[in-house]
Structure 1
């Protein structure tokens, strides 16, 4: 928790999922700058100032917006970005790996931006939907999975990631959980490395297509390839309210 003398009014968000959370907290009018990847809510594309991407920002544009606070994330933004932003104003850097971390961030934003009631409503909804999903999933069989996020080189989500945490919640055993973060893998060794029941192709950040599914299929013994909504597996914040319904639907169609 960072300490501020008064509630920040002008906010720049460099994290797409946190931009959506700010909107759902009722802070639309306070958001003055976002990244080009902040696609929710959709109208922000036309109403908010873009200050670059999550890894490459336009620092002069941020300065011109005269923010009171800049919101970053340890995974989304680089150390250099955080340091550059710190010369402009207060910077809040989130670090999230679990649902508990996410709920804590929602509540922290509630205090920081004087939106405690709204934050409580969001956190309660997430916790309620999570508990319902746990009841649904507890008797479902464990399935071995590989969760791909990139091609050329092929990259997967491994241990110590929010994605892996949600895979575990879904009773999915990540065959790459012995590795860290987002490693490059050799798809011709897919069988030897775990021979998954499911190959999950995320909708982001790479735009996987049918031909990529066929390409992976050549190297697996019996796995089923499924395109999944990457936002529900990797976005924290208020997006999680709807994530558990999505996970339930996904399980039911496997």
Structure 2
């Protein structure tokens, strides 16, 4: 469209949780290289420092665990002025643990997924959202998953947490009607990151087997979709965006015989 004006990335201050690898790190790179300021959070300080060394002073590393609400709130309250006016929050921190059926799954794995994928996400949004509403500009972006829509064996608690993300995003939009704050849920299919390595508790053989013979999505693929959703004009809200690699589909129903 002739004259269509996307948002100027240099006006954006982006908070990204789970920025030490994968989609989070790729999204940090995409925004900083476009001129935005990025607050990159995570638990692995060495990776955050390496990201700052790579990208320069427009990236602020912030070592904090999203599961610790008090620490997270304090970290946000202590941001330097140049990074304090957050107008995009990308609640990306999350993980899958295990692929056992529910009757064999680890309860500890379930609890860790709930603590990070649900509670950590809630803490992130609650710490940042009031400021966005007060300043009259903002965008909340989630890393959901196709697992929040489509069930698969072993997806039990992980799929449940991503279904929560999907519904929370919709309810958040309902609450924010009448404000200029946008909400987007990004729902990737298979993305080749550290996701499976974490799911299989560091078993590289099992992790590699997930991606063998498949051209999966990359963190950069998803970062590009996030960047687009966040830079369309402010009157446009992309509610959700589901992204599969061409090699993946949800089709057919299994029958036990």
Taking structure 1 as the reference length, the TM-score comes to 0.37
* Structure of higher RCO (CA pairs closer than 8 Å, 6+ residues apart): 2
Taking structure 2 as the reference length, the TM-score comes to 0.36
Q: Which has the higher helix share?
A: 2
